[in-house]
Amino acid sequence: MSAPSRRLVDLAQVIRSKNAGPLHLTLDIMFPDAASYGIAVQSPALSRVAIAALYAVDPATVEVIPFAAANAIKVVMDRPVIAGSPGDTDVYGAQQHRPLLGVVL
């Protein structure tokens, strides 16, 4: 019997995005405890391939970094447009976490 599906927004304490320089975007997902972190870190929904599909980017440009000591997962990916250049709609990268809000683990 498989484990019940859980929404990322119900487990995570913080879901945010920000620039990591003008060329990269980071997604930070922080959990209140090791149990919630454990569920998320094992989920295929937060794999490199799944995140790449969610953001419509090449999986080679996505790195998923689990950090158990902080009950956190950091995702680093290339920005589709250089921050501040024409066509950039979020110069600070602060609104790019939105696709994560619909993730089911």
Q: Which two tokens stand for residue 61?
A: 């440009």
User: pLDDT, tens digit, for every residue of 61-85?
Assistant: 999 999 999 999 999 999 988 999 9
Backbone angles phi, psi at 62, to 5 degrees: -115, 135
The domain 8-82 is classified under which CATH number: 3.30.70, 1.10.3470, 3.40.1550, 3.40.50? 3.30.70
Q: Which two tokens stand for residue 92?
A: 């600070």
- Which distant-in-sequence residues (6+ apart) come within 8 Å of 34 by Cβ? 68, 71
pLDDT at 2: 56
pLDDT at 5: 77
Q: Which two tokens stand for residue 96?
A: 């790019």
In the chain, domain spans = 8-82
User: pLDDT, tens digit, for every residue of 1-51?
Assistant: 556 679 999 999 999 999 999 999 999 999 999 999 999 999 999 999 999
CA distance 29 to 66: 10
The residue with tokens 């990591």 is 20
Please name every residue paired with 28 in a beta bridge, in sequence order, or none if there are none.
Answer: 16, 74
